[in-house]
Structure 1
Amino acid sequence: MSMLQLTNARGETVDLNSEKLFANTPTGLGVQFTNTYSQYETYFKTTKSTVAQGQFQIYILFGDVESQAYQTFSDFAQFLAYQPLTLTYTTDSGTWYRDGRLNSLTKTEIGGSTVFATDRINESFTLEFINNWYNNKTAEYKSYDPDPNLGTYGKIYGNQIADTSTQINSQGQQNQLVNTEFSPDFSGWNIGVPNTSGKFSQTTPLSSDTSWLLSSEKFGGSNVILKTYGSGTSSINSGLIPIGGNVLSIVAIEAYSSSNYNGTVTASLRFYYYDSNQNYISYAAKDNAKIFSWTRPIFSATSPSNAAYVVVSFVTNGSVGTSSYSQPMLVFDTTVGDYVQGLEYNHMATPAYTYAYAPYYVYIEANRNTNEQSLPLLNKSQYFGLQKGSPCIITIGGSPTDTLSPSWSVIQNGSIVATDGVLVSISENQKLVVSSYPEDQYARVYNPDGSYADVSQLQDFTKTNFVQIPEGESTVLFYVDNQATVNLTFKEERLLV
């Protein structure tokens, strides 16, 4: 490879040190700063420093013989028409790239050069740089089967949930229920009808009631709770959920329910309301008798003006039969969008984190936080103090169960320095691509045929968005489905090479 090459926007490359294009006397490969100072006596304090836009200039002899000079010049002119252009600079210190646009290309006649007389066209070529010298660095997350002993012997940091706003669906709704996959021990749920004569009281944990079983059946990617009974009434409820004190609140529930009964059975969804002292007020119900296939009942009700808490309950009442429920969802709205996991204790990876103390690195236990993917990075960029990070392109591929509202954080020295997220659902054959390159910023969802939809308007604007990778060591944590693929490419940049 020669020292200088040019590549256009179509991917075509020309060698500037070939027989037909002989380049000489290059200038403008360095850097120039403009510094402003504040003077105090004989001292000067820097108040501002900016870097000047670089210009690369070189003289080119066109054609290896006189008769080919004009055609070679014409071919080079057509090559320059597809911009931007990328200059490849190779020395014994490595290969670096820099993008630019054409500033000027002179045109004289054979023997008419102002530099020296020749039998070929000798012209001045000037390229204006639009970014720094760079090399693209790529990191890709690859899943693995974790050592089962990690859960017992691994080093663990105490994490605290700092922000649950990432756990929302495409309509911006947060699921208020806990453990919506009913696994592995039904933590957060209770058995029995809520107290309607006094204060709400916790009842027997569901796991101790052997008549409740975790079905092997799957629906929508979620486990199913299955109830088999002979007669009587049974209920499973989620416990107290705050609904905003003495304020009228609209609540709706989404659940998948199925019943296949031999006798007379009523399956219903209920809201039990309590005041600020957890005293019972009233309840609202939607009854569904003899449901023989999976349905999606939507139940909306307005809470009493003095209600401070609500208990969500699935109730079955009958003689003989079974009842199944899956993917419950509770939102503060009159409509319900697509299902999203609630605040499960076993899905702690979805929200953002703060750490109990500031570790100098991030340690991930794969078999505990299965939805958290970690990419350690080393950025050797040098910005002379003028820039704090390098732009990047992030690609997230979908998973068999869809990837909901992916988000990510950049952590350095125990602190979150940048965050981003997009409120979309990515199917298995789609991919989300987010570019923070200043000259081409976007967020897109690509389809298998190459078409895409711009989803920049669906970025989570509570975050910094379009993250940059800081100089030095850092870790990027992705909060995505554990079967999703993650790829990150950032520019390792230099002002001077």
Structure 2
Amino acid sequence: MIRKISMLNEKGDLLDFSDREKFILYDVSGLGVEFDNKVDIFNASVLMNSQSLKLGSLKATLLVGQNSSNGYEIFTEIFRFLNSPPYTMLYETDNGMYYRSCVLNKLTKSDMKKGRIFLEDVVFDFLTPFYKEISETYKPNSDAEGDGKIYAGTNKPRNLIANPNFLNNMQDWSNMSDPEGTYQLQAPATDKPTSNILKLTSSNNKLSSFMNAWGLKVRKGERISFRVDIKTENNPDYDRPVIRVVYGTGEKDYKYSDLGITSSSSSFKTAAISFVVPEDGVFSFQLINQNLSTIGTMSTYFREPMLIRGDVSDMPPDFYSGKPSNNYYAYPYIYESDYNGKSGVFQIENNSVYIGSAKGSPVEITVHGPCTNPYWEILDGSKVLQSDGYNIDVPDGYKLVVSSIVQNQRMKLIAPDGTISDVYQQQDLSKSNFVTIPEGHVTLAFHNVGDVSFNYREEYITV
């Protein structure tokens, strides 16, 4: 259900199409997707030859002046607004705010109707998919800003959870249960003889939970993955929280159904989840048994929780305890997180929806001087997918702006007084140039830079 459609013009003026005193759009169509498919037919079979996305259009009926006696004057406001194209549609739904660039195709103008209103046809042609703009910044730390830490065991993924096999009773774990919540440590099973089993039990509407909070600091954009063995008992409601991850001011629950757990199981199931941290903060991890049913008691069994920095595919196949994340070496300076020794690194999760019509999202990058010969790379693991760079000095106070946004593609050096110089000739021809952000998880790494800011468009063919 549409909550709100409005438009911005090039001057930044806003036209609200839900203003009942002025403009209302209804019978809206054209927000979906349509392709032009070219096929070759071989007897009863069809071979896809090519597929191209068709230009989409917003089509609607525009009601002007419903609750006003000044319909002509209100219509004039629309013309003034349209005098500064192109436009950006703001489409707000229950799933959030989306943007889409467009231009006017059609706006009829008929005589005023009974009730002193206008009913007109309006069509806007879209120039882009729906998109959200996601921004990031990078600023190097000076050596004097604090003590740095290099974590041990960086050559392989380590389990970051303290006391993950429960062998030392529940040391390093905090009981978060209601008074009726109980726990029991059970002896290891034969398939994993070095790991105790934690059994959490709770009665109706009660919670039994343990938290492992050991001071792990995480950063926005960092990928974290966890794995745990789970077994349930007498549990008719498998759509309830069982794992809770907490990062800074936010938290996220994972339910039995998220992990593929059914109402009861005679053996353990190994469940794994990977996610990107949405904000900087201190991380903690909770194991939960919450009874939301009317039965007397229900239980959940946990074994060998594992947490690593990285993707699920990076997890070692066999469990090992490792050491908690506070096992580090301290140095008297800031040690920045790096990727192959390079600073200014961003882990990006691009959740664009292209349905096969594109392979990456445009990005605008701003490099602030002073710096010399800046360049950047898109990486999948250690593989360089794309790169761009400029053989140029960016003086203090200047900024280099490079955009792969089709409607605003540019490579400019901007002086403090606003003077703009085209630096096309300084582009490093050894690079692929004009990078885009692929779908999924990638790394964006900057080199030879000071302060950097960038924003990319997470795009959706339809929402």
Give the TM interval when normalised to the shorter protein.
0.5 to 0.7
Distance 1:78 1:489 in 2: 31
Match of 1:435 among 403, 415, 427: 403
The 8 Å contact of residues 360 and 414 in structure 1, kept in 2 or not, is answered as no
Shift of 1:37: 1.9
TM-score by length of 1: 0.53
Asked if 2 retains the 8 angstrom alpha-carbon contact of 1:148 and 1:367, the reply is no
Tell me the SS of whatever aligns to 2:106.
Answer: strand
Which deviations, in whole Å up to 9, do the C-alpha atoms of 1:175-202 show, x marking residues without a partner? xxxxxxxxxxxxxxxxxxxxxxxxxxxx
Aligned with 1:395 (options 363, 366, 383):
366
Q: 1:34 aligns to what?
A: 36
2:1 is the alignment partner of 1:4: no
* Partner residue of 1:406 out of 353, 367, 374: 374
1:455-466 superposed matches below 5 A: 455-466=423-434
After superposition, the Cα gap between the structure-2 partners of 1:367 and 1:126, relative to the gap in structure 1 and judged at 3 Å, is: closer
**Matched residue type, 1:490:** Y
Q: Contact between 1:411 and 1:476, CA under 8 Å: does it hold in 2?
A: yes
Give the 5 Å matches for 1:75-224: 75-111=77-113, 118-144=115-141, 148=148, 150=150, 153=152, 155=154
Please say if residues 378 and 385 of structure 2, whose CA atoms lie closer than 8 Å, have aligned partners that are also in contact. yes
Pick from 435, 453, 460: which aligns with 1:494? 460
How far 1:391 moved relative to its partner?
Answer: 0.4
CA distance in 2, matches of 1:367, 1:70: 61
Amino acid at match of 1:421: G
Indicate whether 1:485 and 2:451 are aligned.
yes
Question: 1:491 & 1:368 partners in 2: Cα distance?
Answer: 24
Residue number in structure 2 paired with 1:448: 416
**Aligned counterpart for 2:74 among listed residues 64, 72, 75:** 72
Paired with 2:380 and 2:439, the residues of 1 have a C-alpha distance of 10
* Alpha-carbon distance in structure 1 between the residues aligned to 2:39 and 2:119: 43
Q: Secondary structure at the match of 1:462?
A: coil
Q: Deviations over 1:45-64 (max 9, x none)?
A: 22211111001111112224
The aligned amino acid for 1:128 is: D
Shift of 1:155: 2.4
Residue 18 of structure 2 aligns to a residue in which SS? coil
SS of 1:439's partner is helix
The AA in structure 2 aligned to 1:374 is: V
Q: Distance in 2 between matches of 1:140 and 1:98?
A: 24
Q: How far apart are 1:451 and its partner, in Å?
A: 2.3
Deviation of 1:126 after TM superposition, in Å, equals: 0.8
Alpha-carbon distance between aligned partners in 1 of 2:368 and 2:436, rounded to the nearest angstrom: 20
> In angstroms, what is the RMSD of aligned CA positions?
2.6
Asked whether the 8 Å contact 1:154–1:365 carries over to 2, the reply is: no
Contact preservation (8 Å) 1:135, 1:492: yes
Under a length normalisation based on structure 2, what TM-score does the superposition of the two structures give? 0.57
- Counterpart residue identity of residue 109, structure 1: D
Measured in 1, the distance between the counterparts of 2:127 and 2:443 equals 28
Give me the whole-angstrom Cα distance separating, in 1, the residues matched to 2:5 and 2:438. Answer: 29
* Partner SS state of residue 70, structure 2: helix
2:440 matches 1:469: no
Kindly state the Cα deviation for residue 369 of structure 1 after the two structures are TM-superposed: 7.3
Q: What is the CA distance between 1:154 and its match in structure 2?
A: 6.0
Structure 1 residue 456: Cα displacement? 1.8
Pair member with larger Rg: 1
Mapped partners of 1:20, 1:126: distance in 2: 18
- Identity across the alignment (%): 30
Counterpart-to-counterpart distance in 2, 1:450 and 1:377: 31
After superposition, the C-alpha distances for 1:465-487 in whole angstroms (9 at most, x for unaligned) are 11000000111111124xx1111
User: Structure 1 residues 368 and 489, CA, compared in 2 at 3 Å: closer, same or farther?
Assistant: closer
